[in-house]
Each structure stands twice: as structure tokens, then as C-alpha cells.
Amino acid sequence: MIVGASIGNAVEWYDFAIYGFLATIISVKFFPPGNETAALLNTFAIFAAAFFMRPLGGFFFGPLGDRIGRQRVLAVVILLMSGSTLLIGMLPTYAAVGVASPLLLLLLRCLQGFSSGGEYGGGACYLAEFATDRRRGLVVGFLVWSAVLGFLLGSVTVTLLTTLLPAGAMESYGWRIPFLLAGPLGLVGLYIRLRLQDTPAFAELSEADEVAASPLREAVTTAWVPILQVIGLMIIHNVAFYVVFTYLPTYFIKTLHFSKSASFASITTASVVALILILPLAALSDRIGRRPMLIAGAVAFVALSYPAFVMLNSGSLVYAVAAHCLLAAIEAVFVSVSLVVAAELFATRLRYSGLSIGYNVSVAVFGGTTPYVVTWLAARTGNAYAAGIYVTIAAVVSLATVLTIRETKGKPLQELGVTAPAAP
């Protein structure tokens, strides 16, 4: 059950990682030669397009999951997601078909983003509704854990291929291999998901004929408060995640002038730190509560984000890696709990819709844009610590949101989300 729900999320973040790490090669393969900077910017623009498709996917797959069930939608989502990634690895280059090449790349990236809109919310609903009340935090924590694992798997795959293949092979054909590997990964995930049963909570709802006839309309009209709470809660969840796992590897090279190997060592170490901490912290939330964990994570970001960027800019690689790991550890505190809280904010009949809408709006506005925004802020202000300030502001907003959410630890899922949660 945990593997079935989490494997699609791991594949999603694997896809995300390999596209980012192969961006320089993709820019050469899919855009006309002559202006490397323009080609790279176009590559990242196509990368960003997927994020703006995610809310559309959330608006489509969320209500669908509330009408026909979680398991069926999750099976469709992983098929679309892995299939589009596989096809990217088979695309003809610009040299072969001209402008059709980047257009096809854009189409497949948009399909990836659209399908991703149904993945995270659906997986969280599935795990939350299968888990016992006493272990719901730990069980849903596996979904967050799988995101970091997928990202690490993608970065390791690209690095190993770059190291092991002969000179020039990566640029010639090797870049296709990580995308092609998404095919068998997706088939394994699809096989597992097709063998899953739907959740007891949805089955009970279906048997009682209480499935929402129009979940999207009902969610935005009756559950708009928890949707807004999810958006606010996920601001620091997403901003810090994209700073730690996508912005800082580039920051190490472009701003701090460390080597690519040092950057890879740092992101790998930070990822391992997050992997080690997420599940124990999620289990801890089942004992001491969700709110203390969320408040601790948000306050730690407010207090330590700027000092962490001071450490990053100290000139010492050891200090820089330590700061990277510190930010990853704080992120682990917050994300280990934020997803289960988001699932607990909604009644069963609207859970997939409400969570998918709130999460995907937040990730589109505050997640995928983060690397661009912090890079622009640093260039505009000349402040190398701009990302630390941005993370601090995001943490303040999310902390304010946390204070409006009641404690949900250990409460029966059927009793949660009936009315809009209010402060205790």
C-alpha cells in the first residue's frame, strides 16, 4: 500500500531531477545553435511550463478522484507521467526535425505537469485514508520521503552515466538513458497500483451513496478556508524545498565558485540528511502533535535561514555543506508533517479535490518560480543572501497559517474536515 502510493511520487521527482541536471545538454539538442544563453533560458522556460500545468491537473484529477476513487486515478496518473518522460527520451533533436523538436518537448513537459497535478494530492489521500489514526503521520510521511528519494535517484543516475560513459557519449546518446529508464519504472508502478484496492474511507462513502456529485464546485464553495490554509501551509514547504534541492546546487557553482563535484557532494549529503530525518520526525508528530512540529520548522526557518546563507558565503566548503545540510534538516521538520496536516483538513468526499487544488496552486506560484525569483533578487539587489531573506518571508507567512489550524493528531479521519478548521 505504501509502496503503491509512493512510487509514482518517486518517479515524478526522478523526472524533475533528470531534466534539471540535463538542462545544458537539452538546450543544445532541442534549440537552434548560436545563442547558448537563449537556448538554456528556453529550456528552463519549458521546465517552468510544467509547473503552470499542475493546477490544471489538480482541478481535473482531484475531483475525478473524489468521484470514481483514488486508486483508479493514481493508476492513470503514473501511466501518463512515466509515458511522457519515456517519450522525451525518444524525441528527435532540432538538427533532425527543426522547430518541431522544442514544440514536442513543450507538449510532453506540459503533459508531465498536468499528470503531476493528480499525483501528490492523490497519494496523500490514499495513505491518509488507509493509515490508522495513531500512525497516520508516519504513513503519509513516506510520500514526502519518496520525493527526496526520487530526486536523489535522478541526480545519482545522471552523475553515474556522466562518469561511466566514454567521452562525448553523454552529449551524443547518453542523455536519453535516464528518460528511457522512466518507462520500466512507470510500468512497475502501474502494475503495483492496478493491484491496489481503493481506500476503506472512499468505499464506505461510495456504499452510502454520499460521493460528491460535483466535488470541484463543492470544494471551492464550502471548503475554501482549508484550501487557503493548504496554500499558506505549502508556501514554505515548496519555497524551502526548491531552494535546498534545486537552487543551491547551482548556487554552489555559479555564486560560491565551488566545483561541480563539490556541488554534487553537497546536494547528495543534504538529501541523505533529509531522508534520515523525515520518517522519524513524521512518527514523532503522531506522539507530540502536528502543530508543535510545524511551528518548530517555521520558526527555525525564520531564525536560521539568513545565518545559513552567511555560512554558505564564508568561503569554506565545509561550512557551506554544513549550511546546506542545516537547511535540509529544517525542511525535513516541516515537510514531514505538512502533507498529513493538509490531508486532515478535508472531509473524505472533498479530500482529493481540496488537497490537489491547494497544493498545486501553491507549488505553481511559490515552488517552480523559486529558483528564478531568488536568482533575480540576488542580481537585482546585489545581495548574495537574498534567497535566505526570501525563505524567511515565506516561513513567516506559513507560520501565520499554522496558527489558524487546529491540532489533528490521532483524531479519526471521518471526524476531520466536516467544518472548516479553526484555531483552538
Report how far residue 389's alpha carbon sits from residue 387's, in angstroms, rounded to the nearest whole number: 5
Q: What is the pLDDT of residues 23-61, one digit of tens each?
A: 878 888 998 887 776 776 787 778 778 888 999 999 999
Q: What contacts 276, CB < 8 A, 6 or more positions away?
A: none
Does the pLDDT of residue 422 top 60, yes or no? no
Report how far residue 260's alpha carbon sits from residue 24's, in angstroms, rounded to the nearest whole number: 13
Spatial CA neighbour of 202 closest among 421, 413, 420, 417: 413
Give pLDDT, residue 423: 41
Report residue 371 as a C-alpha cell.
529558483
Q: Find the angle CA(137)-CA(55)-CA(115) to the nearest 5 degrees.
A: 80
Q: What is the mean pLDDT of residues 364-390?
A: 87
Does the pLDDT of residue 419 top 50, yes or no? no
Placement of cell 513567516 in the chain = 396
Spatial CA neighbour of 281 closest among 149, 405, 142, 411: 142
Percentage above 70 pLDDT, the chain: 98
Give pLDDT, residue 56: 93
Provide the pLDDT confidence category of residue 293 given band limits of 50, 70 and 90: very high
Does the pLDDT of residue 377 top 90, yes or no? no
Does the pLDDT of residue 420 top 60, yes or no? no
Report how far residue 313's alpha carbon sits from residue 119's, in angstroms, rounded to the nearest whole number: 37
Is residue 223 within 8 A of residue 350, CB to CB? The reply is yes
Spatial CA neighbour of 120 closest among 4, 214, 238, 6: 6
Give pLDDT, residue 415: 80
Does the pLDDT of residue 418 top 80, yes or no? no
Provide the pLDDT confidence category of residue 5 given band limits of 50, 70 and 90: confident
Is residue 273 within 8 A of residue 328, CB to CB? The reply is yes
Provide the pLDDT confidence category of residue 15 given band limits of 50, 70 and 90: confident
Report residue 164 as a C-alpha cell.
561511466
Q: What is the mean pLDDT of residues 155-169?
A: 89
Report how far residue 340's alpha carbon sits from residue 384's, in angstroms, rounded to the nearest whole number: 34
Report how far residue 316's alpha carbon sits from residue 258's, in angstroms, rounded to the nearest whole number: 10
For CA atoms 224, 228, 229, 233, give the dihedral sign: positive
Give pLDDT, residue 384: 87
Buried b (16+ CB within 10 A) or exposed e, 6-37: bbbbbbbbbbbbbbbbbbebbbbbbbeeeeee
Q: What is the mean pLDDT of residues 125-150?
A: 93
